Amino acid sequence: MKRLFAHISLATAVILTCLGNCYADGRIGLQNLKCEMLNDPLGIGTGKPRLSWQITGDVRNINQVAYQILVASTPEKLTSGQGDLWDSHKINSAESIMISYAGKPLESRAACYWKVRVWTNKGVSNWSKPALWSTGLLHPTDWKAKWIGCDRGFSWDSVSKFSRLSARYYRRGFSLNKTIKRATAYIVGLGHYELYINGQMIGDQVLAQAPTDYTESVKYNTFDVTAYLKQGNNAIGTVLGNGRYFTMRPKYKPKKIKEFGFPKMLLQLEVEYTDGTKQTIVSDDNWHFTADGPIRTNNEYDGEEYDATKEFAGWDQPGFNDSQWLKAELVQAPGGKLDAQMNEPIRVMDTIKPVSINQLNKDVWILDLGQNMAGWLQMRVKGNRGDKITLRYAETLQPNNELYIANLRDAKVTDVYMLKGGAEETWHPVFVYHGFRYVEISGYPGKPELADFEGQVVYDALPTIGRFETSNAIVNKIYHNAYWGMLSNYKGMPVDCPQRNERMPWLGDRAVGSLGESFVFANGNFYAKWLDDIAQSQKPDGAIPDVAPAYWNYYSDNMTWPGTYILVADMLYRQFADKAPIEKHYASMKKWMDYMRVKYMKNNIVTKDKYGDWCVPPESLELIHAKDSSLNTDGQLIATAYYYHLSGLMEKFAGMLHKSADVKFFAAMQQNVGKAFNDKYFDKSTSKYSNNTVTANLLPLYFGITSSANKQAVFRNIVAKINEAHDHISTGVVGTQWLMRGIAEFGRPDLAWKIASNTSYPSWGYMADRGATTIWELWNGDTANPAMNSRNHIMLLGDLIAWFYQDAAGIKTVNAGFKQLVMEPAIINGLNSVNASYQTAYGTVKSNYTNTKSSFNWHVTVPPNSSALVYVPAKYMDEVTEGGKKISAIKEIKAIKMENGRAVLSIGSGDYDFEVKY
Ligand code: RAM
């Protein structure tokens, strides 16, 4: 929500920068003040936000012992040390993240300026730089605005299968007759909106707003627009696009697509004058609109058409004559509760320069961006009025260099731009995006040059917080591909793919992938929002769908896809110390577990599954799904193993929430299910589960269903099975979620590394070797049938990225949020170096090592107010040096013990250089 603060009024900004940061004793500083994991958010939806800060300092072993938070209603009060909203006074505590606000109750529209200072064992900080947040409209009665829209199409629109609807432009002029102190705009624009005031676009968000089931929850955005308004005449305008509200495929029976209706909006502009009075401009039937503007159609699957000859200059400025426009109509509210959007907006996060442009025939050119991505192409062009350029997008080319579009199914992925003529024009679509590497350009006047085009990469504004690089080029390429796959599929919700006629938030794809992603992107708020989407999609009987928001109706009742609800809540707690999702969703999770148990459990076996181990490498290369039953794993086995595992998490959650009866219940459940599982699927004579697939053995082993006595034998079967496949992968979406960690944990990190660095089929490296720049939906994406064959999916990553960070780099959290780390990098022949860093809530962790024949060198960084147990590979404690000195000579490092060829040391924050000479 940084965008919001691009618009802080000038006076405030000046005061903020004047409050510089200096350290009380020159050592201990503070940075990155966050409210609800966001930088200076405006219009938050809670009166009890959680605050976090990071401590800096150039000495080792810094630990916070106390803090004081001041929250003031004005910057001036904060400067003078008056916490009129909250003065926590000195609180003795080591906690520096997720501290709940405990000051005066906050009403709607409260501006809260805050700062913090800390006492540590190494000195006291000065006050931090100030930060701020404001509350949004917390009560339904705060909304005076009316929903406006137009519940019909126009002659040029069509509501058939391939829906076409032009964008709607709304505007009104108004006058402000006093000196403005502050102005705030609250807006909902369904499905997408752009907001303009006096000719300027507000904010840098794109594809706003967050997609939800609009009958359940409608997110509003808040902007400080003080700087855009003036005393006298003003104008405000919005453009409304379809997004998921006016669906891409209405009346499309097979998938039972949810339809919401025609675009609509709700807008409230609140202006405060310096004399203390207020004026509010709201959406109502005083606005005018037209649907006959330049955006002729916008459909996420099919593309956007823009006719620049239909632009109306000055429509978003005062004085525009809108007498030809229609009167805005009052319409029904969409039904959902109005909630503040608390996850980051989507933005243009990166740009790509294309690498080549080739002429296909007289009028047709193929542009190659060199990277499969999601977003759009921005184009520069000069030509005659009415010239028409058509852009079509694809992920790959056919052998004859034409676009390969068979795998896009019926998505038309076509943008059209009609020139106004004369001067140079620059254009990109605004209400659609595409998943592509190649663009076919036809109708371009003159010769298109590379410099005329730019790929704009569009995804949720989640900071990149992880970096991972190894000595192995193919693994680095896989990481690159995973990175691009992840960001491509963040679209206000995690979608499966960005290109074909699907782009749906499938739960199963992110069950464990979300954990890997959390090492790469700060996705805490993003996934917290998704859990709300999932909760809102729950049926009264407890059923959770496979797709949420449930734009496609898939209530198929299985454990593996809906179970993501529980796995992601656990991830948010472990990675970001965010306990709120567990508190908020516990009851619905339990309801779903009960629903599945009552409806489908027979003799402690869950008898219902839908997807099996989705997308294993099939027996023949053109197949999407294996038909050979020896490759597939029994669905009931998978469902029962997941029930066992999820019961364990529910037991843990129940414990956190002090629900002792539930703790007992889920513990007993696990026992019963585990026993039934072993009785049914385990063959004592061979130590094999079921048909002995890797997945059938791995799930019980990794989840702890297998008894200790049998673990090694089961593991040997897994290894034998992998060896049989020439050390290649044989698992699908489900097995791969536990594979890398499972193999490594039971003592074969080398085998995990082999699987990770393979380049022959099937492997992630095979995809990379075949020129993939993202991850494919299928191991055999290059040969399989195009009916379900995206080249930008991330479900097959399984736990690979989590394994990279947790095991290859050795960056693991013990408890919630990396307050205590375990750093134990896997030492693997052939893996000569790893450079990894990860920004936890406390600050940056680093693990950079090189492992050669003669020495192991490891640079470790632990951020202040956290600590780590580090496992240095060594034969004796005395072999280990840090900064050239023996460990025993360094006071701050505690030698704990020798364990399995590792010297276990306890360290506090700071930078360390460990070395072991061989
Ligand atoms: C397809 C997609 C998606 C997967 C579902 C089950 O539509 O591949 O990623 O989750 O199937």
User: Could you report the per-residue pLDDT of 163-182, keeping only the tens digit for each?
Assistant: 999 999 999 999 999 999 99
Distance of CA 491 to the CA centre of its chain: 8
Ligand 1 centroid from CA 500, angstroms: 12
Residue 41: pLDDT band with limits 50, 70, 90 = very high
pLDDT-based confidence at residue 250 (cuts at 50, 70, 90): confident
In this predicted model, what pLDDT tens digit does every residue of 837-879 receive, in sequence order? 999 999 999 999 999 999 999 999 999 999 999 999 999 999 9
| Minimum-distance ligand 1 atom for the alpha carbon of 561 | 10
Q: Sorting pLDDT into bands at 50, 70 and 90, what band is 9?
A: very low
Residue nearest to atom 2 of ligand 1 (CA): 496
Q: With bands split at pLDDT 50, 70 and 90, how would you rate the model's confidence at 25?
A: low
Angstrom distances, CA of residue 918 to CA of 834, 852, 855, 858, 879: 19, 9, 5, 14, 9
Q: How far is the CA of 407 from the centre of ligand 1 (A)?
A: 14
Cα–ligand 1 centroid distance for 614 (angstroms): 8
Find, among 542, 725, 702, the residue nearest to 619 by Cα. 725
CA 658-659-664 angle, to 5 degrees, is 120
Write the pLDDT tens digit of every residue in 349-361. 999 999 999 999 9
Average pLDDT over residues 259-280: 97
Q: What is the dihedral of CA 227, 232, 233, 237, to 10 degrees?
A: 30
Indicate the average pLDDT of the chain.
96
Task: Name the DSSP letter for residue 596.
Answer: H
Position in ligand 1 atom list of the atom nearest CA 502: 7
Per residue in 190-214, pLDDT (tens digit) is: 999 999 999 999 999 999 999 999 9
Span 232-261, average pLDDT: 91
Index of the ligand 1 atom closest to the CA of residue 614: 6
Residue nearest to atom 5 of ligand 1 (CA): 506
pLDDT given for residue 159 in this prediction: 87
Do the beta carbons of residue 320 and residue 171 sit within 8 Å? Answer: yes
Check whether the bond before 371 is cis (ω within 30° of 0): no
Distance 506 CA to ligand 1 centre (A): 6
Spatial distance between the Cα atoms of 107 and 762, rounded to a whole number of angstroms: 57
Q: Which of 504, 558, 613 to mutate to test the pocket of ligand 1 (most atoms within 8 A of CB)?
A: 504
Q: Which residues face 598 on adjacent strands? A: none
498 C-alpha to ligand 1 centroid (Å): 12
At what angle are helices 564-576 and 635-656 packed, to 10 degrees? Answer: 40
824 lines ligand 1 (CB under 6 A): no
Of all atoms in ligand 1, which is nearest to the CA of residue 611? 6
Residue 618 sits at φ, ψ, to 5 deg, of -80, 170
613 lines ligand 1 (CB under 6 A): no
What does the alpha-carbon distance between residue 256 and residue 249 come to, in Å, rounded to a whole number? 10
Contact (CB, 8 A) for 780 and 770 = no
- The 10 Å Cβ neighbour count of residue 818 is 26
User: pLDDT of 885-916, one tens digit each?
Assistant: 999 999 999 999 999 999 999 999 999 999 99
Atom of ligand 1 nearest to the CA of 793: 9
Minimum CA distance residue for ligand 1 atom 9: 496
Percent of the chain surpassing pLDDT 90: 95
CA 94 to chain centre: 29
Q: Are 386 and 309 in contact (CB under 8 A)?
A: yes
Mutate to test the pocket of ligand 1, among 255, 502, 553 (most ligand atoms within 8 A of CB): 502
Ligand 1 center to 502 CA (angstroms)? 9
Cα(559) to ligand 1 centroid in Å equals 15
pLDDT tens-digit series, residues 569-614: 999 999 999 999 999 999 999 999 999 999 999 999 999 999 999 9
Give the pLDDT confidence score for residue 160 in this predicted structure: 84
Give the pLDDT confidence score for residue 15 in this predicted structure.
38
Mean pLDDT over residues 718-729, rounded?
Answer: 98
547 lines ligand 1 (CB under 6 A): no
- Give the residue, out of 409, 509, 613, with the most ligand 1 atoms within 8 A of its beta carbon, to mutate for a pocket test: 509
Q: Whose CA is nearest to atom 1 of ligand 1?
A: 788
In which residue are the tokens 């025993």 written? 888
Which atom of ligand 1 is nearest to 506's Cα? 10
How many angstroms is it from 371 CA to the middle of ligand 1?
23
Q: How far, in Å, from the CA of 546 to the mean position of ligand 1?
A: 9
Distance CA 275, CA 231 (A): 14
Query: What's the alpha-carbon Rg for the chain, to the nearest Å?
Result: 29
Does 795 sit in the ligand 1 pocket, CB within 6 Å?
yes
- Say if residue 144's pLDDT is above 90: yes
- φ, ψ of residue 692 to 5 degrees: the values are 65, 25
CA distances from 703 to 245, 451, 714, 718, 815 (A): 41, 53, 13, 15, 19
Centre of ligand 1 to C-alpha 409, Å, is 14
Q: CB of 509 closer than 6 A to ligand 1?
A: yes
Q: Is the CB of 611 under 6 A from ligand 1?
A: yes
CB of 702 closer than 6 angstroms to any ligand 1 atom = no
- What is the rounded CA–CA span in Å between residue 67 and residue 99? 11
CA angle (114 as vertex; 103, 13 as ends), nearest 5 = 145
Q: Looking at per-residue confidence, does 21 or 241 come out higher?
A: 241
For ligand 1, is residue 578 a contact (CB within 6 Å)?
A: no
- C-beta 733 within 6 A of ligand 1: no
- Residue 270: pLDDT over 80: yes
CA–CA separation, 117 and 808 (whole Å): 37
- Our answer on whether the CB atom of 545 is closer than 6 Å to any ligand 1 atom is no
Q: Do residues 783 and 806 touch, judged by C-beta distance below 8 A?
A: no
What domains does the chain contain, in order, with CATH numbers? 2-134 (2.60.40.10), 143-342 (2.60.120.260), 348-409+442-460 (2.60.120.260), 466-808 (1.50.10.10), 816-917 (2.60.420.10)
Q: What percent of the chain has pLDDT over 70?
A: 97
3-class secondary structure per residue, 823-865: ECCCCCCCCCEEEEEEEECCEEEEEEEEECCCEEEEEEEECCC
Q: How far is residue 457 from each of residues 203, 349, 452, 484, 766, measured CA to CA in Å?
A: 17, 6, 16, 10, 25
> What's the gap in Å between 620 CA and the centre of ligand 1?
20
Ligand 1 mean position, distance from CA 256 (Å)? 16
CA distance 500 to 144: 40
Ligand 1 near 600 CB (within 6 A): no
Ligand 1: distance of its center to the CA of 781 in Å?
A: 14
Query: Which of 506, 611, 616 best tests ligand 1's pocket when mutated (most atoms within 8 Å of CB)?
Result: 506
Angle at 841 between CA 840 and CA 845, to 5 degrees: 30
Residue 599, token pair as written in the block: 């409806």
> Does the pLDDT of residue 11 top 90, yes or no?
no
- Output the residue whose Cα is nearest ligand 1's atom 11: 506
**pLDDT score for 26:** 64
Is the pLDDT at 73 greater than 70? The verdict is yes
The pLDDT value given to residue 666: 98
Q: Is 767 in the pocket of ligand 1 (CB under 6 A)?
A: no
The minimum-distance atom of ligand 1 relative to the CA of 497 is: 9
Which residue minimizes the CA distance to atom 4 of ligand 1?
506
Q: What is the mean pLDDT of residues 142-146?
A: 98
**Six-digit token pair at 131?**
């930060």
pLDDT at residue 450 above 80?
A: yes
Structure tokens belonging to residue 707? 């008894």
Question: Is residue 23 scored above 50 in pLDDT?
Answer: no
Residue with the smallest CA separation from ligand 1 atom 10 is: 506
What is the 3-state secondary structure of 858-877? Answer: EEEEECCCCEEEEEEECCCH
Cα(789) to ligand 1 centroid in Å equals 10
| 729-749 mean pLDDT | 97
Residue 148, token pair as written in the block: 């406006």
Q: What whole-number distance in Å separates Cα of residue 604 and Cα of residue 857?
A: 50
pLDDT for position 4: 39
Residue 798 pLDDT greater than 60, yes or no: yes
- Which atom of ligand 1 is found nearest the CA of 795? 9
pLDDT for res 19: 39
- Does this model's pTM top 0.85? My answer is yes
What amino acid occupies position 512? V
CB of residue 496 inside a 6 A radius of ligand 1: yes
Ligand 1 geometric centre to CA of 496 (Å):
7
Contact 54, 150 (CB under 8 A): no
Task: Identify the helix (H) or strand (E) that includes residue 73.
Answer: none
- Identify the band that residue 24 occupies on the pLDDT scale cut at 50, 70 and 90: low
Say how many Å lie between the CA of residue 548 and the centre of ligand 1. 13
Cα(570) to centroid(ligand 1), Å:
23
568 Cβ closer than 6 Å to some ligand 1 atom: no
Residue 717 Cα to ligand 1 middle (Å) = 30
pLDDT (0 to 100) of residue 256: 81
Expressed in angstroms and rounded, the spacing between residue 718 Cα and the centre of ligand 1 is 27
Ligand 1 atom showing the smallest separation from residue 777 Cα = 8
**188 pocket-lining for ligand 1 (C-beta < 6 Å):** no
- CA–CA gap between residue 849 and residue 563 (Å, rounded): 37
Average pLDDT of the residues in 347-373:
97
pLDDT of residue 501: 96
Atom of ligand 1 nearest to the CA of 507: 10
Residue 253 in this model has a pLDDT that exceeds 80: no
DSSP string, 42-65: SSBS-SS-EEEEEEE-SSSS--EE
Q: Could you tell me the distance, in angstroms and rounded to a whole number, from the CA of residue 495 to the centre of ligand 1?
A: 10
